[in-house]
Structure 1
Amino acid sequence: MNMQEAADRADAMLDATFAAIKPEVRWSSTATTTGSCDVTRRRMVMTIVSEQRRGNFLGLVERFWKQSGYAIKSVNPDPQMPAIFAQSRDGFAISVSVGAKGNVDFEVDTPCVKESSVAEPTSQPNGTSNVDTWPLPLPNVHSDFWSAGAPPASN
């Protein structure tokens, strides 16, 4: 596997994760970085995920990752800045973390692979593309579900 193929695999992992999030959230690609033999792909959720819905959001992501065969490596239960770190069977590390301002970021780090050039992701964001924007804007898309100020009602 070369770096481009690894980047494509990282994109597929992110695509599948975002497809599993219901209701859908808006997202943007952020900077891709490369090392001597690895690639990091990132996405930022542009939908506001309220503090009251973070647990639901992270729980949904964690369940999907487990169902996908990823091993959960660690969980940061901090109520303000929680995070989940997982790894695929083929050595790709995937994480989701909540930042200090409530921003939700996803990242996939590839294992070391054969060096090659790496193109930008081909997955089209359903939010504004922020690849060349710094600093990144905070989430600004309202969702009746994810942005709500109360936990969802039990059924």
Structure 2
Amino acid sequence: MNMQEAAEQADRMLDGTLDAVRPPVRWTHRPTTTGTCDVWRRRAVMTEISPQRRGAFLGVVERYWRGAGYEISSVRNSREFPAVYARSPDGFGISLTVGGRGQVFLEAATPCVRHSGVPRPRTPANGPDYQGGPVPWPNVRDDFWSSSGAAV
């Protein structure tokens, strides 16, 4: 596998994760970074996830990852900045972290593979595309995910 193929696999992992979230959230790409033999793909969720819904959001993602055969390697049980880290059977790392203002970030990291060029992600963002510029704080309201009501 080369870096392009690994980046495409990382994109499929991120696509699957975001596709598992219902109701769907809006997201944008964050910068891709490359090392000498690895690639990091990143996405930021632009939908506001209220503090009352963060646990439900993380639960949806963790259940999807387990169902996809990923091994949960670590969980950060922080009220303000929770996170879940996992590894796929083929050695890719994937994480979900909650940052400032509750913004959710997803990252997929490839194992070391053969060096090659790495194109931009093929999957278009389903919100504004901020590639090449700073990503703002979450700015999309959702009746469910942004609600301050108790999750059911």
What TM-score bracket applies, with the shorter chain setting the length? over 0.9
* 1:75-114 equivalences in 2 (<5 Å): 75-114=75-114
- Deviation digits for residues 33-73 of structure 1, max 9, x if unmatched? 00000000000000000000000000000000000000000
Residue 152 of structure 1, CA deviation = 2.3
- Deviation digits for residues 88-147 of structure 1, max 9, x if unmatched? 00000000000022110000000000000000000011011111112x200000000000
C-alpha separation in 1, matches of 2:122 and 2:150: 35
- Deviation digits for residues 1-37 of structure 1, max 9, x if unmatched? 0000000000000111111000000000010000000
Structure 2 stretches of 5 or more lacking a match? none
State the AA in 1 paired with 2:111: P
Stretches of 4+ aligned residues off by more than 4 angstroms: none
Aligned counterpart, 1:141: 140
C-alpha separation in 2, matches of 1:108 and 1:150: 31
**SS, match of residue 14 in structure 1:** helix
C-alpha separation in 1, matches of 2:60 and 2:141: 19
RMSD: 0.6
C-alpha separation in 1, matches of 2:78 and 2:62: 16
Structure-1-length-normalised TM-score: 0.96
C-alpha separation in 2, matches of 1:131 and 1:89: 30
State the AA in 1 paired with 2:141: H
C-alpha separation in 1, matches of 2:87 and 2:72: 7
C-alpha separation in 1, matches of 2:20 and 2:116: 31
Structure-2-length-normalised TM-score: 0.98
